[in-house]
């Protein structure tokens, strides 16, 4: 049970980009402690990625996002497939021009990569999430491609060839919440994470849970396109996974965040 989060902001937004990223990471920190990472798009459209082994508390006060940044992704990992000792398995994951984060399990990743003749981005990678972003690059973000995935999914990604857009998708069995204002869109695995963003950045968000089988395109702090897809419903979770995987990380990160916000 991983945690994902991120934002798309208008140039008009006055939200502190770094503080918003820190608040989101603190909000999802309890969902995994095997690895942590974040990505943002720079002013030239390139996506910068930072990640490391361990929980969110090891990275929180090192996050630095430029004031001009309009898009960011964050992730904490509670791994299933793809050992976190191999850096390429940890999120954000890059495949070609696409960089993304994923919460869930994809059962047929190797099958899909073989079907399309897609090679792993790095030789030692085995993480199942790569199949999502490989398909999105290959199929140009066509939501129909998401129907080919068998498993559980909430995901978000950036494409260096599509510099204006952040994509957010929800398949089966994993939560995803959206919080929006006139100039900002935030998303996270839990409603609580968005409440932490509200408290840290002093914004008031309109909150809703994203429905399954939806793909949103976010541009400059707005949801500009909503598309549907029909997830493969043959997948069944093997058992109940508790959403709180690293409660000590939540305590540590919220303490750090209070200090950072006060500074």
Indicate the pLDDT class of residue 36, thresholds 50, 70 and 90.
very high
Cα(first)–Cα(last) distance of the chain, in Å?
A: 32
Indicate the pLDDT class of residue 224, thresholds 50, 70 and 90.
very high
Tens digits of residue pLDDT in 59-85: 999 999 999 999 999 999 998 899 999
CB of 171 closer than 8 Å to CB of 212? yes
Q: Which residue matches tokens 């409440």? A: 195
Number of domains in the chain: 1
Q: What are residue 61's phi and psi, to 5 degrees?
A: -80, 0
Q: What is the CATH number of the domain that holds 110?
A: 3.60.20.10
At 240 the pLDDT is: 66
What's the pTM? Answer: 0.96
Q: What is the token pair recorded at 75?
A: 């992730």
Q: What is the token pair recorded at 200?
A: 């840290």
Q: Which SS3 state, helix, strand or coil, does residue 254 take?
A: helix
At 79 the pLDDT is: 86
Indicate the pLDDT class of residue 245, thresholds 50, 70 and 90.
confident
Q: Is the pLDDT of residue 235 over 90?
A: no
Expressed as residue numbers, the domain containing 153 is 3-262
CB of 84 closer than 8 Å to CB of 53? yes
């Amino acid at each position: 049970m991983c945690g994902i989060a991120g934002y798309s902001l208008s140039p008009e937004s006055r939200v502190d980009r770094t503080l918003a990223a820190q608040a989101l990471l603190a909000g999802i920190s309890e969902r995994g402690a095997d690895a942590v990472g974040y990505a943002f798009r720079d002013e030239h459209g390139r996506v910068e990625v930072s990640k490391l082994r361990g929980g969110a508390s090891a990275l929180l006060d090192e996050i630095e996002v430029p004031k001009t940044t309009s898009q960011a992704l964050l992730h904490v990992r509670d791994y299933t497939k793809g050992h976190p000792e191999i850096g390429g398995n940890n999120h954000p994951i890059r495949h070609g021009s696409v960089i993304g984060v994923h919460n869930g399990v994809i059962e047929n990743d190797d099958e899909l990569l073989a079907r399309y003749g897609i090679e792993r981005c790095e030789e030692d990678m085995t993480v199942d999430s790569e199949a999502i972003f490989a398909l999105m690059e290959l199929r140009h973000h066509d939501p129909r491609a998401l129907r080919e995935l068998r498993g559980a999914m909430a995901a978000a990604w950036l494409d260096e060839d599509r510099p204006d857009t952040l994509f957010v998708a929800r398949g089966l069995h994993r939560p995803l919440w959206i919080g929006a204002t006139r100039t900002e869109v935030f998303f996270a695995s839990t409603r609580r994470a968005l409440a932490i963003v509200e408290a840290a950045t002093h914004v008031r968000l309109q909150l809703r849970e994203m429905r399954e089988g939806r793909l949103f395109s976010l541009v400059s702090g707005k949801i500009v396109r909503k598309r549907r897809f029909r997830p493969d419903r043959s997948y069944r979770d093997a058992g109940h996974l508790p959403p709180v995987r690293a409660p000590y990380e939540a305590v540590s990160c919220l303490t750090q965040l209070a200090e950072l916000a006060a500074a």
